[in-house]
Structures are given as structure tokens and as C-alpha cells.
Amino acid sequence: MIARRPVRHKTSSSVVSDRWDLTHLVKNPLNDLERHLKALDAQVAQVESARPRLQATMASSDFQSILKSTESIAEGSARLGAFAYLWFSENTKNTKARAFKSQVEERLTAVHNRLLFLDLWWQGVDHQNAARLMADAGDLRYYLETIRRYTPHTLSESEEKIINVKNVTGRSAVNTLYDVVTNGLTFTMKIGGMTRTMNREELMSHVRNPKASIRQAAYRELYRVFSTQRDLLGEMYRTLVNDWKAENVELRRFASPIATRNLGNDVPDQAVNALLATCAKNAEIFQTYFKLKAKICKISPMNRYHIYAPHRADTKKYTYVNAVNMVLGAYRGFSPQLADLAEQVLRERHVDGPTRPGKLGGAYCYSVVPGLTPYVMLNFTGEARDIATMAHELGHAVHGMMAKDHSIFTFHSTLPLAETASVFGERILSDTLISNERSKAVRQGLLLSQLDDMYATVLRQAYFIRFEQAAHRMVAEGATGDQLARAYLSELRQQFGKAVRVPDEFQWEWLMIPHLFASPFYCYAYSFGNLLVLALYRMYREQGESFVPKYLDLLATGGSQSPHDILSTLGVDMVSAAFWQSGFDTIKDMVEQLEETLS
């Protein structure tokens, strides 16, 4: 175990406001929207005026000037788009926020369409002149390479414009409807002899209740309500899958539905195949874990209702202030620089903490533009898991802040590496807590908590992708929502084997996973990021303080290089099954440590 700095940092009460301030993005949205849009229109017109001068042989300085203008347009668009989504997230039932979001999406799509000609021209520049122009592009080189990577899948300018317009009233509208429907659902449960009505975030806190009967009741109520919406949500999903196939497979000629995501992530298909195959191969590790957990938590037989049952030492409720102090303290023990950045997010009131009726479910971090402190949305209910979520989302935030010196086009890392800092933040928190704990029972509980998280963010996410691959194929063949549900249940039972019984109602679980609807094949990024972090964290434990600057450099790179180039500096080969296996070997070591606590 590496030595840790003593944590002496105290957080002032001003740091822990639990509602965010969106005025750093847009001060008067309803009054100033047209002014912001007119400013964008003027900038776009300036770029459009340069269209006749676009030549493969143009001077590099002229090309760089055009790129600078597009950066400014992208920053203005990003601020408006971010405000619209954040305002909507606060309360999905707010009709003004919904109308504003729709209006912004429509107008920004028009802006994007007017600039399409530039990307299409760039894709057609010959290799020699492209190399010449990229030689002087500096931080924008990888961004320019990315545009050209899409050349085989790009359509004509008029076709691209039609798709962009269609997506506003198509995919985007269906996803907004999904959010409105699912975040507006209410659930009722009898707790302590009283019937309570609650939103999904409040209900889900009960799946970690110490009482088995409450855990079971929470899941049954969850799927009872979602199953009543299965026709509507199932039709939404089928529509989105068919849309994805029509655009990406039929029009853009990608080899498979997932290949679209892989190209966007700049991750080779072979790497994703190796990752998913290794996850399926190692499902048995988690099956062994759940058998141990059943013994420790006295659950017989182990059932899918109970996989998140808390350890007897893990039933404490936490205040928001305590959670902030724990997370910042853990970050400071690893890197004072990261702790200062995380504290800045809180101090500037860029976090929306508590759960509320109508609020978007889950949690996210929104890094808008370089140099602007990111925004973090949580649904804090006081559970121990909420503290890990806070550490996770603040990890995303500090990643964006570390990369602030890059362009708006390159400060966001590609999706698989985007989970690096967030998951590393969780590991920092977990390791700090377990290192400072002397009680055997509490250490056992912390190990259980870590392994629960690893299951949820590695194996569970990989099996979402396995389901999606089957579902996209089935929908293309005319499958119904009920047939998709049976396929999901089959994958779930294969995942748990004989170690965990899976009741029939879990066939509706896929209906409540937003990523399956909004971002097909997104979820392997969590498996990728978590297994990568397990390898990086092992390096940290072996190398100690000398590892920290290398890690900070990785974060500061943002998305200015390919994932392959970023990881190769650390000796990581993402195509190697052995690399992914090393992550599972670490998980296996933790399961063995847990088994030792029984002796």
C-alpha cells in the first residue's frame, strides 16, 4: 500500500451549495436568445463568405483563420446548447424549458448545416495538401484527422443537411419524449406501515435497503410501473433502432450498427470485440463474488433483488456536506491540484445536488467549453453510493478542467477515455476509505461496495452491449418489444449463471436504461474505462507518487490525440485480450481478499 498524505482539508460552508447557477452560461435566456443567435448568424456568414476562396492549395494562414472562426461559433453554440439541456434537466416537466430546448436545437442545427460545406470540402482535399495544412494546425491536427476519418461514410451536402434537420424532429424528439415519460413516472411503496409516493431516484435508493422485503418490493414496483409503459417505450426503442440502421448501415454503409460508435470513439472493432469477449469469459468471477456476498449478508437463496444488498456496516445515511468533505479529502490525498479543481466546481455553484420531482434521473457532468468550469448534476439521497457518484462526476469535471488549454474541438477526450478520470476518482475515494479503516467488518463492507460497483460498471455494461447487438439484429428482422424483453432476460440469466436467480419481471429492465435509447452502444465505454483504470491504479500502487504527474499529463491531453497514442505512452495495447484480462485479474484478487475476511 502506498503512503498517503494526511488529509487536513476542511471545506467551507460556501462550497456546498446544492443548486447550480446557470447564469455563467446564459443570463436571461428567454430575453437574450435572439441576440445570441444573431451573433452566431453573423459569425457563420463570415465563414460562408470564405467559401469561394477554399482551395486545396490555399495558404495555411488563411485556412487557420477560417478554423479560428469555426472555433468561436462552436463555443457560442456549446453555451446555448448546454444551457438548454441543463435547464431542461432541472425539471423535465417545465414546459418553458422544454420549448426553449427544442428551439435551440432547431436553430443550432441550422447553424451546423450552413457550415457543412467546410467539412465536406476538407474531406475532399488531396493527401499532400491536407498534410501541408495540418502541419501548421497545432492542437487542431487530431480534430482535422477525425473529420477525414469519416470520409467513406459521408453523404452529399444536401443529404447531410436533410439528416441533420430530420434528427431534430426524429431521434432528438423521441429521446426528449422518453425523458419526459420516464422521469414523470411515480411509484408507490409501503414503508413503515405508510404508503409513500416517490420518483424513480427515491425508489432506487430502496434497492439497497437492509431489509430484503423492501428491496424486493422496490424492484417489483419499479418493473410494475415500467411494464405498464412497455408498448410505448418499446415502440420508441424500435423506432430509434430502425432510424440508427437506416442512417448508419444503409445510407452511410457502416459494416454493423456498433461500427458507427467505434469510429466515433476512434477505437478499432478488434479492441471492442476483445473487450466484450473478455468480459463474457470472466462472468464467473462475479458469479463467485455473489455467492460470497450471499454468505456474508446471509441471503438464501441469492436473487437478483438482492445483489446490491448493503453490508451490515454500510447502512449509514450521509449529509451532502459530509459527502463533499469525503470526496475532496480523498482527492487531496492523491493530488492537491485535482482537489482544488473539484472544489472550484462546488465553490462556483456548478453542481445541482438533490433529487426532486421531475428532475432528470441519474447523474452527469457537462464540460461545455475550455476554461469554463463544468456543470455536474447529481440526484443525492444520502446513500453511500451517492458519494461514489459525486467522486465519479467530479472526476469528469477535473478531466475537462485539466484539458482547458486545448481547443473546444480537442479538449473533450474520446468516449472510452472520457471515463478514465471519473472511475479513477471513485477508486481514489474507495482506496482512501479502506486504507483508513481498521475494523474488519467495515473493511469487508467496503470491499463489497467496491465489487458491487465493479459489477455494475464492467460486466453489467458489457452485457448491455451484448443485448444491443442482438436487439438491433432482431428489430431489423421485425421483433416486437416483448420478444426483445425475452432476449434481454436470456442474456441476464446467462450473465448470472446458477449463482443468482433472476425473476421474470427483470425482463423489463432494459426499458429503464436511457443509454440504450439515446446513445446506442455507448455503454462499453464504462467497461473500457473501468478495466483501464484498474490497470492504471495498479501502476499507481506500484509506482507511488511518481505516477501522479504521468496521470495528470494523460488528463491534460484531453482529446488532442487518438486513444491509441495516449495509451501507448503508458504501455497499454487496447487490442490485446491479455490487457483486458489483467483488469479482471485485479477484480479476482479483490474477490479472494473478500473470501479471506470470512476466515
DSSP characters over 15-39: GG--S--GGGT-SSHHHHHHHHHHH
Q: Which pLDDT belongs to residue 29?
A: 85
Q: Which pLDDT belongs to residue 24?
A: 92
* CA quadruple 583, 589, 595, 599: dihedral, nearest 10: -170
Q: Are 280 and 470 in contact (CB under 8 A)?
A: no
DSSP-derived pairing of the beta strands 375-380 and 351-354: parallel
Residue 163 has pLDDT above 70, yes or no: yes
* CA quadruple 448, 453, 459, 464: dihedral, nearest 10: 140
End-to-end CA distance of the chain: 22
Sequence-distant (≥ 6) Cβ neighbours of residue 255 within 8 angstroms = 269
CA 536 to each of CA 5, 284, 328, 397, 428: distance values in angstroms, whole numbers, following the listed order: 20, 24, 21, 19, 12
Q: Which residue has the higher pLDDT, 316 or 146?
A: 146
Q: What is the mean pLDDT of residues 303-316?
A: 86
Alpha helix (H) residue ranges in 19-94: 29-48, 60-90
Q: Which pLDDT belongs to residue 234?
A: 97
pLDDT classification of 1: cutoffs 50, 70, 90: very low
Give the whole-angstrom CA distance, residue 262 versus residue 448: 33
Residue 389 has pLDDT above 90, yes or no: yes
Report the amino acid identity of residue 61.
S
Q: Which pLDDT belongs to residue 233?
A: 98
Q: Which pLDDT belongs to residue 11?
A: 45
Residue 459 has pLDDT above 90, yes or no: yes
Residue whose cell numbers read 493530488 = 335
pLDDT classification of 7: cutoffs 50, 70, 90: very low
Question: Residue 260: left (phi > 0), alpha (psi -120 to 50), or beta?
Answer: alpha
Residue 526 has pLDDT above 50, yes or no: yes
* CA quadruple 268, 269, 271, 273: dihedral, nearest 10: 180
Sequence-distant (≥ 6) Cβ neighbours of residue 420 within 8 angstroms = 399, 413, 529, 532, 533, 536, 554, 555
Report the amino acid identity of residue 330.
A
Q: Which of 344-348, 351-355, 435-439, 535-539 has the lowest mean pLDDT?
A: 435-439
Of the candidates 342, 521, 510, the one whose C-alpha atom is nearest the C-alpha of residue 415 is 521
Give the whole-angstrom CA distance, residue 102 versus residue 88: 10
Q: What is the mean pLDDT of residues 435-461?
A: 87
Q: What is the mean pLDDT of residues 514-537?
A: 93
Report the amino acid identity of residue 217.
A
Residue 124 has pLDDT above 80, yes or no: yes
Q: 20-173 in CATH: which number?
A: 1.20.140.70
Sheet hosting strand 375-380, strand order edge to edge: 351-354, 375-380, 364-366
Report the amino acid identity of residue 30.
L
* Residue 153: alpha-carbon gap to chain centroid: 25
pLDDT classification of 314: cutoffs 50, 70, 90: low
Give the whole-angstrom CA distance, residue 89 versus residue 562: 31
Per-domain residue ranges for the chain? 20-173
Which grid cell is 58?
490555399
Please give the share of the chain, as a percent, with pLDDT higher than 70. 97
Q: Are 358 and 571 in contact (CB under 8 A)?
A: no
Q: Which pLDDT belongs to residue 315?
A: 64
pLDDT classification of 15: cutoffs 50, 70, 90: low
pLDDT classification of 383: cutoffs 50, 70, 90: confident
Q: Are 106 and 373 in contact (CB under 8 A)?
A: no
Give the whole-angstrom CA distance, residue 122 versus residue 111: 18
Q: Which residue has the higher pLDDT, 539 or 144?
A: 144
Q: Which pLDDT belongs to residue 13?
A: 46
Q: Which pLDDT belongs to residue 12?
A: 47
Residue whose cell numbers read 474488519 = 440
Q: Which pLDDT belongs to residue 193?
A: 87
Q: Which pLDDT belongs to residue 188?
A: 97
What is the CB neighbour count within 10 angstroms for residue 277?
Answer: 13
Q: Are 358 and 371 in contact (CB under 8 A)?
A: no
Give the whole-angstrom CA distance, residue 568 versus residue 589: 26
Q: Which pLDDT belongs to residue 31?
A: 85
Residue 178 has pLDDT above 70, yes or no: yes
Give the whole-angstrom CA distance, residue 283 versus residue 525: 18
Residue 17 has pLDDT above 80, yes or no: no
Residue 236 has pLDDT above 90, yes or no: yes
Give the whole-angstrom CA distance, residue 540 versus residue 555: 15
pTM of the model: 0.85
- DSSP tag of 413: P
Q: Which pLDDT belongs to residue 16?
A: 61
Alpha helix (H) residue ranges in 184-311: 200-204, 212-228, 230-244, 257-265, 269-281, 283-296
Mean pLDDT, the chain, rounded, equals: 92
Give the whole-angstrom CA distance, residue 218 versus residue 223: 9
DSSP-derived pairing of the beta strands 364-366 and 375-380: antiparallel
Coil vs helix vs strand at 523: coil
